[in-house]
Structure 1
Amino acid sequence: MSRVSSADGSRAATCSTDDALTISAPAKINLYLGVHAQKDARGYHLVDTVMIALDLADTLTVRPSDALTVRTVPQTDFPQEHNTAYKAAVAMGKVFGREPHFNVLIDKHIPMCAGLGGPSTDAAATIVALCQFWGIDPHDERVLGVARSIGADVPFFLYGMPTYLGGCGDVMCETFQPFTGTPVALVKPWSSRVSTIEAYRRFDENPVALPPLEPMLEALRAHNDDEVLARVENNLAPAACGLAPEIGEILDWMRQQSGVRVANVCGSGATVFAICETQEAAEAVSAAADAHGWWSYAAKMGERGPSIVE
């Protein structure tokens, strides 16, 4: 068998046409999210962000087929052509001149419209799988171009190291040493969903000033977790809370819980994350959130993007 680099830079065997690949596709949180009032020529907001992967993950099974099909468990209520994994496979086929004839099954564990990057990580995992099947280096610039064409978060998920991204949140500027194993509690209202588009529209109605970026980057370069946590910011959070007030209630509640070092909104919501002193504290926050009737998960920070499950 030939060999090809996997998303984390290691070497992995290229799959035969009869093989199926199982890919773990992690969620993310934004340690820093700074949305600019200015937009680029396309009308997209300029965004600075620092993202880090978690061990909460969707699981994708990808196998060769007679045509491209994508389905999810639980089943979604929109056509497969609207799924980011489908779009990623089509885009990979066009760029590399191949027919993306695969069956993609996505076992969903990351909630939708939660600010945790579920659609983006599924797209990145699909790209990684096709690189593996077709013997393509995931670090090929054309692969990164495909990722950027699907969504702003997809380039981050291709590799998954803690990363500072600029541009519209899609240009990888700097990576940092992971904080692997750091406990994180995730909580969201079951009924509230926040559209990213609506969150940005709400932001435009009342833009919030950019939080300082450089102190966060300096703390990450020094790998000083106390300083990193002191710099956690999200100026899109007020828009998310305005669209779904229960997010603000959860945020206030989480900041009062024992063992919580810092809490903020994930991306555009609706999830709130709390970085905790211990895994036991994260699990206690999750259990207390369950008692309130909210969705919750006790996670840990990871160190990579989509990875092949042996």
Structure 2
Amino acid sequence: MSTNSFRVSAPAKINLYLGVHSLKDERGYHRVDSVMATLDLADTLTFEADDELSVKLVPAIDIPQEKNSVYRAVRMLEEAYGRSANFRITVEKRIPLRAGLGGPSADAAAALVGLCQHWGIAQTDGRVTEIARSLGADVPFFLHGPLAYCAGAGDVLSELFEPLAGQHVVLVQPPGDGVTAAEAYARFDADPVALPPLEPLLEALRRGGAGAVPSLIANNLAPAACAAEPAIEMVVAWLSEQPGVLAAQVTGSGSCSFALCDTQDDARAIAAAARSRGWWSCAATMEKSGPTIKEC
């Protein structure tokens, strides 16, 4: 890609399955099994050639630039390949933070995808994979998407599936500061929850059995998320009762929950009803790809 100005989408994700093991690896990370799907709710990264690297978030978030996931991803890629990424990067934020939707990880992966294509680097290169893993457990998934099973600490891409593109989803997040992954995992350690069955979901996805998926979604980190923010439990219960809902669950460590819906109209109606209760909500659909790139 020869252009010096381009845009990259950074789609959010939901966890159709999240299974946290009590065992930890040599790094101190929990073993995690995760099945994730990307959504058409996305942040957008705009790269414009400049004299030096800078990253701007819109709306602004009060963190030093050096700690921003996009800035860190770009610097690590520069160091790994001996290149200079002199870009002004604007990140338009639509994915809420501390929601379990993977916003910062999605942004970091989008930055890697955009620069890899710009520099002619294969996204599957081992150095890119290691950078992604070091940035966050979900980043390797976001490099590829749109529907995958990840093992290890949730950071090892193990199996890709045909996307459930067009599956209607509604997202709901109660007000508050959200839930950090660290807090959710600390509560899990204090009161571990047994692993839900994984193989039936993997088998359904392998054979393209979308109809079986709603009955198989699971998240054993959800009780810890609900303990950290009790309103989450109320949201899931409310979602489960709405017309057209096939299944409802917490995504990741929360505080956002999701419901798989029968139709787009159902998802939109539920989103409107959630907003009337003072909750953030968005009707979305599952994507057919991971990050996408367009010239400006």
Q: TM-score range by the shorter chain?
A: over 0.9
**C-alpha distance in structure 1 between counterparts of 2:88 and 2:61, whole Å:** 16
Residues 2-48 of structure 1 deviation map (CA, whole Å, 9 limit, x = unaligned) = xxxxxxxxxxxx124xx211111100000000000000011000000
Residues 149-174 of structure 1 deviation map (CA, whole Å, 9 limit, x = unaligned) = 11110011111131000000000111
Single out whichever of 191-200 and 51-60 deviates more from structure 2. Answer: 191-200
Q: 1:303: how far off?
A: 1.8
Paired letter, 2:139? V
Is structure 2 residue 139 aligned with structure 1 residue 120?
no
Q: What is the match of residue 9 of structure 1?
A: none
Is structure 2 residue 279 aligned with structure 1 residue 304?
no
Correspondence list, 1:156-171, <5 A: 156-171=141-156
Give secondary structure in 1 for the equivalent of 2:122.
coil
Superposition TM-score, scaled by structure 2 size: 0.98
**C-alpha distance in structure 1 between counterparts of 2:53 and 2:176, whole Å:** 33
Single out whichever of 290-299 and 92-101 deviates more from structure 2. Answer: 92-101
Q: 1:305: how far off?
A: 1.3
Return 5+ residue gaps in structure 2 as ranges.
none
**C-alpha distance in structure 1 between counterparts of 2:286 and 2:264, whole Å:** 11
Q: What is the match of residue 178 of structure 1?
A: 163
Paired letter, 1:212? P
Paired letter, 1:70? V
Q: 1:137: how far off?
A: 1.8
Correspondence list, 1:136-215, <5 A: 136-215=121-200
Give secondary structure in 2 for the equivalent of 1:72.
strand
Is structure 2 residue 290 aligned with structure 1 residue 290?
no
Aligned residues, how many? 295
Superposition TM-score, scaled by structure 1 size: 0.93
Out of 5, 15, 20, the residue aligned to residue 2 of structure 2 is 15
**C-alpha distance in structure 2 between counterparts of 1:92 and 1:245, whole Å:** 40
Paired letter, 2:120? G
Q: Is the 8 A contact 1:62 1:104 kept in 2?
A: yes
**C-alpha distance in structure 1 between counterparts of 2:84 and 2:134, whole Å:** 19
Runs of 4+ off more than 4 Å = none
Out of 15, 23, 32, the residue aligned to residue 30 of structure 1 is 15
Is structure 2 residue 36 aligned with structure 1 residue 51?
yes
Out of 101, 111, 114, the residue aligned to residue 86 of structure 2 is 101
Correspondence list, 1:69-80, <5 A: 69-80=54-65
Q: Is the 8 A contact 1:50 1:162 kept in 2?
A: yes
Is structure 2 residue 241 aligned with structure 1 residue 256?
yes
Q: 1:131: how far off?
A: 1.0
Is structure 2 residue 11 aligned with structure 1 residue 65?
no
Q: 1:308: how far off?
A: 1.0
Q: What is the match of residue 219 of structure 1?
A: 204
Give secondary structure in 2 for the equivalent of 1:309.
strand
Paired letter, 2:2? C
